[in-house]
Amino acid sequence: MVLARQRRIATDHDIQLLQGAQEYFPALIADMDAALSDIQFETYIFDCTGAGAQVAEALMRAAERGVRVHLVVDGVGTGRMAEPWRTRLRDAGVRLEVYSPLGPLGLLLPMHWRRLHRKLCVVDGRVLFCGGINVLDDFYDPNHGPLSAPRFDFAVRAVGTLVQHASDTMEQLWWRMRAVSDVRHRRLSLALADMRAASAARQAVRHAQRQQRGMRALLLLRDNLRHRASIERAYLRAIAQARREIIIANAYFVPGGKLRRALVLAARRGVRVQLLLQGRYEYFMQYHAARPVYGALLAAGVEIWEYEPSFLHAKVAVVDAATRRAWATVGSSNLDPLSLLLAREANVVVRDPAFAQQLRQRLVRARDQGGRPLDPHEYAARPWRERVLDRIAFGLMRAALWVTGNRY
């Protein structure tokens, strides 16, 4: 079993679905304000415009009252955080690290294509937030300015066994990033003492809680060492086992051959396969490289809906929600080469009919209210200029994969 190989699925979880920053930020800030020992936070984008400032303020409040706060941001998604926020966070005691900062050659070096794309937060080792939502105002985009409708995205708040898995992984990454600096400045003994103290505090919090049986859930992490294909395999298994319905909402959808074949086979055996994808132009590569794969999917009977009210940033799926075998996932992983082959990603898988039904209802509402169905004849008749751009983008993506030595 794919899930068993990653980590045994546990049944002691309470998982809450959160849609958009408007639901995510208040829940996140409430737990940060209640933190007793430490906050571990990783995100691709940390932008303090608008509502994003509320998260920064919560981190500073926690650090100022003595909570250990570790914040890791990506060197491309965030880069060097804008002043005065960077100084304010550090002065408050927030410990900030930038994952793989870009040097003079930037993204010209393939080694810099491996990014930290996951969005994780663990508070006191007792509660986990995981999903696709960055620290970014729902009504603001750094490249496009103010938005007329909120960004469409999801996260979960989770309590249970998977929290420790996330905490351990984040702790390993933090100390790996800090190791060189600490050794260089001969602070290793202080760093080890700090780590032991934080670990003891988290254990005290966890021992004070009672574990109860609840929802079945699992945290899937993708990295470039032991878990290179964990998230893709989970998707493939769920799609292969589907009997009635598959709904996938994905921001940057350029599936490889295995995923395309799995979706086609599901549609051909009578499963209703629906894809809710990005309908607005955001980036050249992601927009145009996705279009060449639509033809085979449409021909097999896969329904493709393009979401148009705002930017679709969701990375979620639900399979057979109305059955006891219901499967759902919420996370940071797109179904494209960057997420599935290069980036650090995190998805929570939930095997609970009530949760799956709730996610399905939100996706169906978004499909019906903001989705435009892609007609196969319209797709085949799209202008030659668009076809050329699609092929150029798809070719560039395949060339980039060849440079990294990956096959997709």
**CATH code for the domain in which residue 343 is found:** 3.30.870.10
Question: Considering only CA atoms, which of 170, 148, 166, 147 is closest in space to residue 156?
Answer: 166
Give 101's DSSP letter.
Answer: -
Question: Considering only CA atoms, which of 155, 200, 206 is closest in space to residue 42?
Answer: 155
Please report, to the nearest 10 degrees, the dihedral formed by the alpha carbons of residues 258, 286, 131, 302 taken in order.
-50
Q: Are 164 and 205 in contact (CB under 8 A)?
A: no
Strand partners, 249: 276, 316
- pLDDT tens digits, 381-399: 999 999 999 999 998 988 8
Q: Which domain-ending residue is among 187, 215, 243?
A: 215
Q: Are residues 87 and 205 in the same domain?
A: yes
Query: What are the respective helix, strand and coil percentages of the chain, to the nearest 5?
Result: 45, 25, 30
Active site (catalytic) residues: 117, 119, 124, 313, 315, 320
Q: List the structure tokens of 307.
A: 């979401």
Give the mean pLDDT of 194-212.
52
Distance (Å, whole) CA 350 – CA 169: 20
Q: Tell me if the bond preceding 309 is cis, omega within 30° of 0.
A: no
pLDDT given for residue 403 in this prediction:
81
Q: Are residues 22 and 146 in the same domain?
A: yes
Q: What is the DSSP string of 266-280?
A: HHHTT-EEEEEEE-S
Distance (Å, whole) CA 115 – CA 109: 13
Q: Radius of gyration of the chain from Cα atoms?
A: 21
pLDDT given for residue 107 in this prediction:
83
Q: Are residues 280 and 182 in the same domain?
A: no
Strands 345-351 and 215-222, sheet pairing: antiparallel
- In 223-326, where do the E strands start and end? 245-250, 272-278, 303-307, 315-319
Give the mean pLDDT of 160-185.
83
Q: How many CB atoms lie within 10 A of CB 77?
A: 19
Q: Are residues 263 and 382 in the same domain?
A: yes
Q: Which domain-ending residue is among 195, 215, 235?
A: 215
- Is residue 1 included in any domain, yes or no? no
Q: Are residues 174 and 265 in the same domain?
A: no
Q: List the structure tokens of 10.
A: 């546990």
pLDDT given for residue 209 in this prediction:
45
Identify the three-state secondary structure at position 265.
helix
Higher pLDDT, 251 or 181: 251
pLDDT given for residue 188 in this prediction:
54
Q: List the structure tokens of 370.
A: 């903001």
Q: Are residues 126 and 182 in the same domain?
A: yes
Q: Which residues neighbour 346 within 8 Å (Cβ) at sequence distance 6 or greater? A: 118, 119, 120, 130, 166, 219, 220, 221, 222, 331, 332, 333
Q: Are residues 269 and 396 in the same domain?
A: yes
Distance (Å, whole) CA 154 – CA 131: 6
pLDDT given for residue 110 in this prediction:
78
Percent of the chain with pLDDT over 90: 75
Confidence of residue 2 (pLDDT cuts 50, 70, 90): very low
Distance (Å, whole) CA 27 – CA 47: 18
Q: Is it the case that residue 91 has pLDDT exceeding 90?
A: yes
- Count the domains in the chain: 2
- Is residue 249 included in any domain, yes or no? yes
Q: Are residues 364 and 237 in the same domain?
A: yes
Distance (Å, whole) CA 286 – CA 336: 9
Give the mean pLDDT of 166-192.
73
Q: Are residues 238 and 121 in the same domain?
A: no
Question: Considering only CA atoms, which of 266, 256, 230, 259 is closest in space to residue 346?
Answer: 230
Q: List the structure tokens of 384.
A: 């030659």
Range of the domain at 357: 217-404
Q: Which domain-ending residue is among 215, 250, 282?
A: 215
Q: Are residues 165 and 245 in the same domain?
A: no
